[in-house]
């Protein structure tokens, strides 16, 4: 009788987990699809031959004593961006990526995907390219919705990543139980049969 109760309980748990697993899979299919594709692309970005993220060039010297000031380099980057892309392009800076060992500085802008790579010594342009990886990352983590709706504190990103993280965790647990549960039930059945 105890074994039967245990088998019934296991079967009930399996039915619940199967229903949760199936419902979540159906509801979140599109989100899981975008996360999977964007995650793969982000994993490949440094091996994409410049298609996803511009290849980092090499400057003339890694000795910071010979470098121009950051202010001078920034002015060069802004001028190059305006001359090469558009005179009225946004110049709001997202970050400056200094690659001392490669002798270069990358200027990455906030409102668009352009990146300017300059030689640290001469300030000459080494590469001007689009960072598709930034767009892919914003799709991956949901921050593209914050940009679209103009939220100021990445609230949508936090909610989105929390829901998707919890869903993936629940998906993993229910998926494991859908694999392990039948094995456990089979063992219970075998024990019951062997005792008869």
Residue ranges per structural domain of the chain? 1-51+132-196, 54-130
> Rg of the chain's alpha carbons, rounded to an integer?
27
Q: What is the mean predicted confidence (pLDDT) over 164-192? A: 81
Q: Which residue has the tokens 């619940």?
A: 16
Q: Which residue has the tokens 């990352």?
A: 137
Element (H, E) at 105: strand 104-109
DSSP code of 150? T
Q: How confident is the model at residue 113 (pLDDT cuts 50, 70, 90)?
A: very high
What is the spatial distance between Cα 6 and Cα 88, in angstroms, rounded to a whole number?
A: 71
Beta bridge partners of 98: 105
Whether 1 has a pLDDT exceeding 50, the answer reads: no
pLDDT tens for 13-23 read 888 888 888 88
Beta bridge partners of 118: 105, 125
Asked if residues 137 and 94 have their Cβ atoms less than 8 Å apart, the reply is no
pLDDT of residue 34: 92
Query: Terminus-to-terminus CA distance in the chain, angstroms?
Result: 13
């Amino acid at each position: 009788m105890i074994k039967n109760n245990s088998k019934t309980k296991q079967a009930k748990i399996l039915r619940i987990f199967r229903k949760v697993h199936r419902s979540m899979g159906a509801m979140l299919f599109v989100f899981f699809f975008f996360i999977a594709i964007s995650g793969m692309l982000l994993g490949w970005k440094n091996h994409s031959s410049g298609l996803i993220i511009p290849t980092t060039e090499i400057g003339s010297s890694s000795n910071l004593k010979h470098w121009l000031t950051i202010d001078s380099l920034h002015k060069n980057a802004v001028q190059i961006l305006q001359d090469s892309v558009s005179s009225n392009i946004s110049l709001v800076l997202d970050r400056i990526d200094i690659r001392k060992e490669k002798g270069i500085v990358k200027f990455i802008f906030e409102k668009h995907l352009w990146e300017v790579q300059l030689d640290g010594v001469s300030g000459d342009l080494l590469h001007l390219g689009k960072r598709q990886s930034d767009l892919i990352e914003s799709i991956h983590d949901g921050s593209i919705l914050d940009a679209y709706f103009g939220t100021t504190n990445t609230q949508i990103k936090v909610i989105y990543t929390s829901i998707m993280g919890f869903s993936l965790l629940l998906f993993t647990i229910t998926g494991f139980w859908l694999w392990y549960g039948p094995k456990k039930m089979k063992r219970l059945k075998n024990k019951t049969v062997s005792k008869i």
